[in-house]
Amino acid sequence: MNWKLPHGITWRPVASYFFMVIIFFALLQLVAAQKLNLTGALAVALLLSVVLAWLLYRRVVAPLSEINETAREMARGRLDRELHLYSRDEIGQLANSVNEMARQLRRTINQITEEKDRARAILNSMADGVIALDRQGQVLLVNPVVEEIFNIKQEDCQGKNILGVIRNFDLELLLERALKTQQPLTREIKIIAPEPRIFRLHATPLEEADREKGGVVVLLRDVTERKKLDDMRSEFVANVSHELRTPLTSIRGFLETLLDGALDDRETARHFLEIMSAETERLTRLIDDLLDLSKIEERRVVHRWQPVDMIDVISRVLSMFRPQAREKNITLLSRLPSGLPVVQGDPDMLAQVLINLVDNALKYTPGGGQVTVSAAAADGRLEVSVADTGVGIPAESLPRIFERFYRVDKARSRELGGIGIGLAIVKHIIRAHGGKIQVESTPGRGSVFSFTLPAGEGAATLM
């Protein structure tokens, strides 16, 4: 039976050591009574000492050495190592406690690792940027979105002040305020580098385990495109309102004049009615173009995809504009080599592209000028160009020439009946056919609008 002392010490090792002491005491008594000589006593004592040392080594020193070595291995991170000591004394209990501690540490570390991996996966899958700061305002972590936007590495920015990572004083001031007040904060800021962008910033304070003020977690949502769309929508509404107001104001003015008595003068009345008819036609074109543009942008147009012979389309469009060209004394030419490949597309929409481009070329080319439509095939694509010898386009206007309602010379465009939507329609039609459009121009010497389309009946279309 393995009796225990009140503090958990077993009787067995204590009794064995006490028994050894009694034996040594008995040897001393025998030597004192001269019943055993000194040499024999020393021999017996030496033998007993060896036995005692062996017992101490086997029961104490060897197990403690193994426990010590295992503890060192665990400190180095090898928590899978366990002690194989099955004695029922204190050494065995210590070994069991160390083994249980290692198992519990493994379970805890696995849970922490799983939580860390889960949190990292969530951060990596987020579409918004995330920055975590400690209470001193130094960066703890950033997610891959922040790394990509600002061209930084997490290992390079950890422990740095936010200004050393993202050089924006407005952002630094907002985060300092969030750290100081420990209150949620939402703002929109504009960051210039590495490229101009607008972010909606939401800072949430962190509360640490000791209930003291901690750092903040910053969520950065890129709203640049949304802002651009809002600006474009506002500009679009303003432009449409202006374009509608001008002819309506003109029509209203002439109507009031006619009602005030000008109707009795037939020549004046006819002149006013002709102007009102022209303004009404302009309004009709504007509304039709807006509807066409809206349908194309929202992909609500039902395309009649089929093989299209661009030579036939170009020839039909040029025949439409020859009377207008003769009236303005403009030479209308075509350069169409034989054997051009067909393209896959909607013939009516491709004809609309050419109508808009040729119409613009004729409008902005003075009398005696020349407009040339050419086509060529190369690298599996068909390129069509419309070149004129007109007034040309300034270099600063070229990047915006395909925007809705953008006009280089607003007064001249209004005089010629242009409303600034035709080229926007051209751009969307060409994109819907999987092609690209570009423009080259020199003021005073003319412009060249050219677009490319995938050639061949099996050419894929991009919608």
Cβ proximity of 70 and 100 under 8 Å: no
Q: What's the average model confidence in pLDDT over 92-114?
A: 84
362 versus 98: the higher-pLDDT residue is 362
Q: What is the pLDDT of residue 5?
A: 46
> How sure is the predictor about 3, in pLDDT bands with cuts at 50, 70 and 90?
very low
Considering the entire predicted model, what is its pTM? Answer: 0.50
Which residue bears the tokens 């661009």? 310
> How sure is the predictor about 101, in pLDDT bands with cuts at 50, 70 and 90?
confident
Percentage of the chain with pLDDT > 90?
A: 13
Instruction: Give me the phi and psi of 359, to 5 degrees please.
Output: -60, -45
Tens-place pLDDT, residues 334-382: 998 888 888 988 888 899 899 989 988 998 899 899 999 999 988 889 9
382 versus 68: the higher-pLDDT residue is 382
Tens-place pLDDT, residues 221-279: 888 888 877 776 776 677 677 667 777 888 888 888 888 777 777 888 888 888 888 88
Handedness of CA 376, 379, 380, 386 (dihedral sign): negative
> How sure is the predictor about 209, in pLDDT bands with cuts at 50, 70 and 90?
low
Cβ proximity of 13 and 99 under 8 Å: no
**Considering only 10-14, 23-27, 303-307, 367-371, which range has the smallest mean pLDDT?**
10-14
The most distant pair of C-alpha atoms in the chain lies apart, rounded to whole Å, by 165
Tens-place pLDDT, residues 147-184: 888 888 877 777 787 777 777 777 888 888 888 888 88
Integer Cα distance of 328 and 391 in angstroms: 15
Tens-place pLDDT, residues 266-292: 888 888 888 888 888 778 877 777 777
Is 60 exceeded by the pLDDT of residue 18?
A: yes
Q: What is the pLDDT of residue 158?
A: 79
All structural domains of the chain: 10-112 (no CATH), 126-226 (3.30.450.20), 234-296 (1.10.287.130), 303-454 (3.30.565.10)
Radius of gyration over every alpha carbon of the chain, rounded to an integer in angstroms: 45
Mean of all residue pLDDT scores within the chain: 79
Fill in the amino acid letter for 121: A
Q: What is the pLDDT of residue 34?
A: 67
Is 90 exceeded by the pLDDT of residue 56?
A: no
CA distances from 134 to 27, 141, 154, 348 (A): 72, 10, 15, 62
**Considering only 22-31, 200-209, 383-392, 394-403, which range has the smallest mean pLDDT?**
22-31
> How sure is the predictor about 105, in pLDDT bands with cuts at 50, 70 and 90?
confident
Q: What is the pLDDT of residue 8?
A: 45
> Within 10 Å of residue 250's Cβ, how many Cβ atoms?
17
